[in-house]
Amino acid sequence: MSSYRILPAKRLSRLILPLLLAICAACTASPKTATSIATATREPVAPPTPTLTPAPSSFPTGTATRQPTRLPSPTPGPQSGEPSIGDPYAPELGNTGYDVRHYHVELEINPGVAFLRGTTTITAAADLHNLIEFSLDFAGFEIQELLLDGAETAYRRDGEKIFVEVPEGMAAGREFVLLVRYAGSPQQVGSPFVPFFNHLGFQFLGQSAFTYNQPDGAHFWFPCNDHPRDKAAFTFDLSVPTGMVAVANGVLADVEEVQNRTVYRWENAQSMATYLVLAAVGDYERIDSASPGGIPLQHYVFDDLRPAFNEAADVTGEALDWMAEMFGEYPFDAFGFVTTRLIRASLETQGMVLLNEDMLNEETVIHEIAHMWFGNWVTMASWADMWHNEGFAIYLSLMWQTRENPGALNIFMQNLEAEVGREASAEPLGDLDPHRLFGFDSYQRGALMIHYLRQEVGDEAFFEALRAYFERFGGGVAAREDFIAVFEEVGGLDLDDFFFRWLETADYP
């Protein structure tokens, strides 16, 4: 969301602790029992092939010895995916046992009517041996049909999870297709992470509708592996009444008239976290242009907001090119804003940003563009690390404001430091209470930490490390340990104490 847990002192323990936490994650239902995250999903280890050790040979030299008898490798027993991806901060989210490659989301949407008909087709690959059951995040709706590789299969629902049986078992690496057809009114349930909203997911507002997913709202309108660690490509077919316009992530691939409805197909080829997924419907006007460096721009704006939008978004192309020069080429096929009403928040949905009618200003524009790199291109592996997204977005906004007078940035940061001293919580920045996740600490304290990091390593190493970070992890997911390791490698410094102080304690700066 935009404008709207420790690192031990020794490097070795930083490598061991994530593994221990991943093992413990399955034993706890509390998001606060651990504060680091595993860098990757733990793979099951197959038992070693047993061998018979021969007795010492008494044969003369040159006489053939009997080779040990090798027993056949045991067949892996049946395995089930876990209904948690293993993020200690939000253990209720995500699932293991498979990796989603592609979502095809088909929706029939009528603005002003809180009812959806949908079909979501998920292409995924098993990543456990002999997978016999896996789960998805999905809340509400009547499931009208569920097919695994084109055939009906047994499933059960438990809270906000669907558990799907795999009749024959599935080998690791095998690709499969799951189709879920559903209909109903989306559940409107408050999120513990966003207490200032009534609910996440679909928002129906008279003659417009849009989705607001961050961090846990996507599974309230389509079945998915709802955690940033499992990114995938997307195709959207959005059917709306004729005369309305439907917008999603990626590029508009096709528009088809079907009776009194129009179907908009959007293709998003780059991998994307579920919280960044967008569907928006309204009487939009499309505005096309390009940045000076050639990045395609595609905006969808309500007619009455166009003058204010044009003024606020005038810097979009220049800002995109400015960030691309610092961090590397803009990573997506196009960039755009889509305006929304009533909800006073904007959101960095990938490549197509939700921009609220009350936030049509340059600061918000720059903030959301920064998220294209920090959050979208490299996505955090745990929701505990919101400072990664929001701290950089705030800091880059300040850098933009002072780009022609860089020395003024220090004045901004001195004022920010005083504000942090007055307003920040006494909780560790890397282990905030869920209701503070989108609050002052993640944004302002996060930005202050980043400024101090820049001072710690120096300007040259700071920007070199960020470019190396995006080159290494772009398009994927990075853990806190990954971010730290790049800065230590490039800067040639041990930053354990720095990050421990900022992320694991409230002793700052």
Residue showing tokens 């047994």: 154
Query: What is the DSSP-derived secondary structure letter of residue 321?
Result: H
The 3 state secondary structure assigned to 242-260 is CCCEEEECCEEEEEEEECC
Q: What is the pLDDT of residues 226-259, one digit of tens each?
A: 999 999 999 999 999 999 999 999 999 999 999 9
Weakest mean pLDDT among 37-46, 139-148, 213-222: 37-46
Q: What is the pLDDT of residues 159-178, one digit of tens each?
A: 999 999 999 999 999 999 99
Query: CA-CA distance, 249 to 65, in Å (whole number)?
Result: 66
Q: What is the pLDDT of residues 59-99, one digit of tens each?
A: 333 333 344 555 555 566 899 999 999 999 999 999 999 99
Q: What is the mean pLDDT of residues 441-467?
A: 98
Which domains does the chain possess?
80-281 (2.60.40.1730), 283-377 (1.10.390.10), 382-504 (1.10.390.10)
Q: What is the pLDDT of residues 471-505, one digit of tens each?
A: 999 999 999 999 999 999 999 999 999 999 999 99
Nearest 5 degrees, angle CA 116-CA 118-CA 122? 145
pLDDT at 17 over 50: no
Weakest mean pLDDT among 32-46, 84-98, 429-443: 32-46
Burial class of residue 307, CB neighbours in 10 A (0-12, 13-18, 19+)? exposed
Q: What is the pLDDT of residues 289-304, one digit of tens each?
A: 999 999 999 999 999 9
